[in-house]
Structure 1
Amino acid sequence: MRLPLIRHISAFIKNNDKDYIEETLEVLEHLTEFEGLSENELDSLGEIISNLYGAIEVEKSVEEGLSQKDALNEFMKRVQKSIDQ
């Protein structure tokens, strides 16, 4: 996951609508089911998908009252904690 990318996607959600991201996720997840993809292509899709989901989570926290900086920090702490387990 890349914070600058999550921040950029979060700005898109704020300026537009989260529905665009959710629909994009549906398409990308559908693409991962295609058997002709290489491991590298699957890894790339997975990285994009995780960044999109991360941006949605950050925006939820912002809507609940956290600043974007705090929301990003809290999100990355949760990610790091799950990686460490």
Structure 2
Amino acid sequence: MKLPVIRHLQKNNDVQKLESTLDVLESFCDHRSVSEQEMDVIGELVTNICGAIEVHQMIEDGMPERDAANNFVKKVLGSIDK
């Protein structure tokens, strides 16, 4: 998870485009010839895209952009600590 990447994705793409990208990546992962290394890279991409979608939703719900990004990071870090 990289906050600068999440912010970039969130600012430059709408939710529908991000969700479509997730669908393609998930489909790609379903193929039997995908290597572990490719799965790791795709996992990182999926995490960042999901973060961007979540930040989009928080902003849509009225949260300032900076607070939305910071709250997302706190949420993720909080779940890691548990």
Give the TM interval when normalised to the shorter protein.
over 0.9
- Residue 64 in structure 1 maps to residue 45 in structure 2: no
Q: Kindly report the root-mean-square deviation, in angstroms, between the aligned alpha carbons of the 2 structures.
A: 0.9
Aligned-residue offset at 1:63: 0.9
Give the residue type in structure 1 aligned to 2:59: V
What is the Cα deviation at residue 25 of structure 1?
A: 0.5
Alignment identity in percent? Answer: 44
Counterpart among 37, 41, 46 of residue 40 in structure 1: 37
The number of residues matched between the two structures is: 82
TM-score, scaled relative to structure 2: 0.94
Q: Segments of 4+ in structure 1 off by > 2 A?
A: none
Q: Secondary structure at the match of 2:34?
A: coil
The normalised TM-score by structure 1 is 0.91
Q: CA deviation at 1:6?
A: 0.3
Structure 1, unpaired ranges of 5+: none
Flag structure 2 segments of 5+ consecutive residues without an equivalent. none
Distance 2:17 2:61 in 1: 21
Alpha-carbon shift at residue 65 of structure 1 (Å) = 1.2
Counterpart for residue 6 of structure 2? 6
1:19 counterpart (9, 16, 19)? 16
